[in-house]
């Protein structure tokens, strides 16, 4: 079982970038993640993944040590590489965020 958290940037992008049907699909995906049914394309690292929902891409990080999944960002195909590069650059900050969340829920 994983706990799934949304980064603040992710929360802002949900309503701005996703249609209602895509939001429903995202919620189903989140429920599957919570149950440990992890899917998505691996990007550079086993813990960094992308899931296509509609025409959008959902980026997330899996922290098995903490049983936490952090939903990071949403983009379309046009900004895919830019988003991936930004996330890879910020991996240390995301790990700190995941650890802080772990301490709060422990």
Q: Pairing state of beta strands 68-76 and 3-6?
A: parallel
Ranges of H-type helices in 7-90: 8-17, 20-34, 80-89
- Assess contact for 10 and 73: CB atoms under 8 A: yes
- Residue carrying the six token digits 């903490």: 66
pLDDT (mean) for 75-89: 95
pLDDT (mean) for 78-90: 96
Q: What pLDDT does 69 receive?
A: 97
pTM of the model: 0.94
Band (pLDDT 50/70/90 cuts) for residue 97 is very high
Q: What pLDDT does 8 receive?
A: 85
Please write the tens of the pLDDT for every residue from 28-56. Answer: 999 999 999 999 999 999 999 999 999 89
Q: Which structural domains are found in the chain, ordered by start?
A: 3-105 (3.30.2310.20)
pLDDT of 79 strictly over 80: yes
């Amino acid at each position: 079982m994983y706990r799934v958290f949304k980064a603040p940037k992710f929360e802002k992008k949900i309503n701005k970038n996703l249609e209602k049907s895509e939001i429903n699909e995202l919620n189903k995906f989140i429920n599957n993640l919570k149950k440990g049914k992890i899917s998505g394309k691996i990007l550079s690292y086993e813990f960094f993944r992308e899931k296509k929902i509609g025409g959008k891409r959902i980026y997330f990080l899996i922290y098995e040590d903490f049983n936490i999944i952090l939903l990071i960002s949403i983009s379309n195909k046009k900004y895919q590489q830019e988003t991936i590069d930004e996330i890879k650059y910020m991996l240390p900050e995301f790990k700190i965020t995941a650890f802080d969340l772990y301490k709060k829920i422990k």
